[in-house]
Amino acid sequence: MAEQHDIHLEVKGMTCQGCVNAVTRIVQRKDPSAQVKIDLAAGRLDGAAALAPDELAKAISAAGYEARVI
């Protein structure tokens, strides 16, 4: 079984629910079993995934958002 990592990211550039859905899809494409909770107002993503947090931040940033591990 894949190791789960706690994920805590700051994500800048999300302005609406569509952005939240897009970021959620990016995470789930990388790891379909990932648990993700996004706080749009706070610009925060918390959850758990089999990927390293910085790998997820890179994938999200590649889609045009500004993500960093916090």
Q: 46 forms bridges with which residues in the sheet?
A: 8, 37
Q: Which of 2, 18, 41, 64 binds Cu ion (CB under 5 A)?
A: 18
CA distance 3 to 51: 8
Burial of 56 (0-12, 13-18, 19+ CB in 10 A): buried
Binding part of the chain for Cu ion, among 17-25, 33-41, 47-55, 57-65 by CB under 5 A, reads 17-25
Instruction: Report the nearest approach of Cu ion to the CB of residue 27 (Å).
Output: 16
Q: How far is the CB of 38 from Cu ion (least distance, A)?
A: 12
Can residue 15 be called a binding residue for Cu ion (CB under 5 A)?
yes
